[in-house]
Amino acid sequence: MDLYRLTIHEASKLLKRREISSVELTSAVFDRIEEVENKISAYLTLVKDRAMAEAETADNVIGRGESKPLTGIPMAIKDLLCTEGIRTTCGSKILAEFVPTYSSTVVKKLKDAHAVIVGKTNLDEFGMGSSNEHSAFMLTHNPWDLTRIPGGSSGGSAAAAAADECIGAVGTDTGGSIRQPCSHCGVVGLKPTYGRVSRFGLVAFASSLDQVGPITKDVTDCALLMNEICGYDSVDSTSVPHPVPDYTETLRSGLNGIVAGIPKEYHVEGLDQDVSQAIGNAIKALEGLGLTCKDVSLPHTEYAVATYYLIAPAEASSNLARYDGVKYGLRDAASGDLMDMYRNTRSKGFGPEVQRRIIIGTYALSAGYYEAYYGKASQVRTLIMQDFKKAFETCDVLLTPVAPSPAFKLGEKLDDPLSMYLSDIFTLPASLAGIPGLSVPCGFSREGLPIGLQILGKHFDEEKLIRVAYNLEQATDHHSRKPKL
């Protein structure tokens, strides 16, 4: 048995029964990393010695009968979450040597459960990108086709999960950064409701949009990981004190009584034929399981891309102002005066995509333009939220594509920012509305590339998303197929 191929729930059962040890499981994962990482490049930092020590501790916890479902499970962490004593780069030269003195709340929760941290995964710099090509350090490759993007910005975590370089992973989603790479890599990814998971210790990109979520090999693992990372956090002002259910209780067969809306604005001209067919087949399969489908309209969808690319860069401009070479991170020591040091540090430390977004955001917030751009975008955001609210008056969930096409070739859209931004057209509206969204494998293209179905739900109604995804997974075999590496 290849231990690295196990899911969280499979490994957890074997660990609890003492049929395998966390040390054996963690060793198998590192052997797998050694075997395929030169092809994938999913990790920016690996901490093998530390991980093996954590695995030994986990085995002792299991031996005392005190284990949790994540105890002893090797996990990958997106390098946008602070990890005490482990380098946290955010995929940027400006933080290339930054080692935090504390861990994010999500990482703390994983450590409290005695999960094993394998390493930190690659990403688009500060989470700004849809392809993982904007990392300052390296390109991550899609395990299904090494010439293609894994998606972004959580591409390292999605690729690591798909290539069995971890048992489970954590990513972040600002405008689709969990859902889109999970669709492209054939794994399960959930962006929780904004405020459901603590943002403390998550290095901020866009504070009103960023959310931490699970990236897993199947839906059961998604539910288990959600159980561990959700909950109110008093040190995060955006955390919501909303009751957290046991998400595993929603893993049951049958969808009778659940109504799904099919937004007409998401099935448009230009949608890849293979994606359209896979989504159609998934909807038919769900209807066969008792789901009722109806057409709905989200009329302001066409404004989502423009709205997002005003709000997110504006917030990024504000958040990234702290990287000035004074307190931490890169400093250009050769500068003649303070202003030169600011300018040179930020020019050398930030990549072209981050600089582009800072410039857009600063312009949108500048005197004389604030109301015309940021203010107007905020109003349109409210209209998008109202579209979803109205749709959910008659529906429990919405079913849409995750991306307009399967994973595209590396370099294909790198010189065309607008085309790159449009690849998030189906994930951005949910982020602007703050509602949960889940990507679950629903088929493959003619070239053998994974395609994901996006399931959207009401605020704090992740249970329904998980239930629908679980039923689709049980009725198909898409999640069980593995890339050949």
| Catalytic residue list | 78, 153, 177
3-class state of residue 168 by DSSP: strand
Cβ pair 136, 127 in contact under 8 A = no
Among residues 223, 246, 175, 231, the alpha carbon closest in space to that of 200 is found at: 231
Tell me the DSSP string of 263-329: EGGGS-TT--HHHHHHHHHHHHHHHTTT-EEEEE--TTGGGHHHHHHHHHHHHHHHHGGG-SSSSSS
Q: Which tokens in the block code for residue 193?
A: 């409701």
CA atoms within 13 A on the CB side of 268: 14
Cβ pair 209, 192 in contact under 8 A = no
Cβ pair 248, 272 in contact under 8 A = no
Cβ pair 429, 413 in contact under 8 A = no
Cβ pair 110, 92 in contact under 8 A = no
- Strand 188-191 and strand 116-121: the pairing is unpaired
3-class state of residue 245 by DSSP: coil
Please give the DSSP secondary-structure letter assigned to residue 440: E
Q: Which tokens in the block code for residue 116?
A: 């094993």
3-class state of residue 380 by DSSP: helix
Among residues 393, 360, 391, 394, the alpha carbon closest in space to that of 377 is found at: 360
Cβ pair 221, 434 in contact under 8 A = no
Tell me the DSSP string of 179-234: HHHHHHHT-EEEEPPTTSB--TTBPPS-TTT-EEEEEESSHHHHHHHHHHHBS--T
